[in-house]
Structures are given as C-alpha cells and as structure tokens.
Copies of this chain bind each other. A is one copy, B any other.
C-alpha cells in the first residue's frame, strides 16, 4: 500500500488503478477538470478563464425569491472564455463515449460560427474533447475545424484528432494543464 498525496490510497495489486495517466480512473468529468485548471490559473495569475453560467429563462419567482418555474435555454456562445497572455481565449468543451469519432451534432452551428468569429477577431479558439471510453482528451483548434466544416463532414475522426489535434496529458497540479498545449500552438 502506497500513500499518495491528497489522502488517495491506491492498492498496487490492482493494476488498472496504478495508471497515473488516467482521467477515467479518477472519475473526473471534463467540466470538473477544466474548472480545477481555471481556478488554478486564476489563483496563480496565469490566466482569467471562467465557465459561463448555463442560460436559464426564469418564468416564476415566489415571495421568498425562489425560482419555481424556469427553462433551460440554448447558449448563444461557448462554455468558456477569458484572457491568457493578453489574448482573448474562447472554447467549447465536450465529452463523447465514442471510440472512433466526435459527432458535430454535439455542437450547435452558431457555436461553431462563434469560434470562427473569435479567430477572425484575433482571439484563440478551439474545442476540447474528452473521449471517455479512450480516456483521452484532445484540443482541436478552430483552424482545423474550419477544414472539417468546409469539407461538409459531420464528424471528426479520432485519427484526425491524433493528426491535427493536441493530446492533453494528465499532470499533477492542475490535473489538466491545457494552457501548456495552448502555449505550443499559439505562442
């Protein structure tokens, strides 16, 4: 029995769990990984990136200011945005169970257009996709996404992610240090 930091105890006899480079074994969602990374970046003055709240249409509020009727709305833009090294940064995060491809049905057309617009305005934009069954996370830049859309493709294959995307490996603090990849691509 080895004592890991943060009180995590891992039984070395279970081989799967000893794989340190596994997001899956830690049971973490992409959203929780990104939130942890973004909090770390804000606290260490590295970047200011926040998740936008889910848009909700409030219909009824009672006397105690509790919302008693409301509806989920479709977001007008993407999930995350902010500033990094003086540059505007904007991205959409998605998970897929597929082992072979990421379907573009998972992203709304106007969100894709928004990502393209960000690039036109001089910002950094991309999608970040977590293939949960493969236990792999990729950053896929808008510049590559443009080609997919122009070719009228409805999905992005895992081979395309391997070829033109950037795999983000699990690290210690933060677990998903994705700005390291952004440095490689854009700086």
Contacts and interface: CB of A to CB of B under 8 A. Distances in A.
A39 to B, nearest CB: 10
Interface string A66-87: 1111111101110001111111
Which of A55, A65, A83, A90 counts the most chain B CB atoms within 10 A?
A: A83
Interface of A: 42, 45, 47-48, 50, 52-56, 58, 65-73, 75-77, 81-88, 90, 114, 117-118, 120-123
16 contacts: A47-B121, A50-B76, A56-B56, A56-B67, A66-B70, A67-B71, A67-B72, A68-B69, A70-B70, A81-B81, A83-B90, A83-B121, A83-B122, A85-B121, A86-B121, A88-B88
Q: What 4 A-B pairs have minimum CB-CB distances, sorted nearest first?
A: A86-B122, A53-B55, A83-B88, A67-B70
Nearest to A76: B50
A50 B117 CA distance: 13
Contacts of A42: 117
A98 B67 CA distance: 30
Q: What is the copy number of this chain in the assembly?
A: 2
Contacts of A90: 83
Contacts of A77: 50
A53 B54 CA distance: 7
Which of A53, A77, A117, A118 counts the most chain B CB atoms within 10 A?
A: A53
Contact of A56 (B45, B54, B81): B54
A87 B4 CA distance: 43
Contacts of A86: 88, 121-123
A76 B43 CA distance: 14
Which of A65, A73, A81 counts the most chain B CB atoms within 10 A?
A: A81
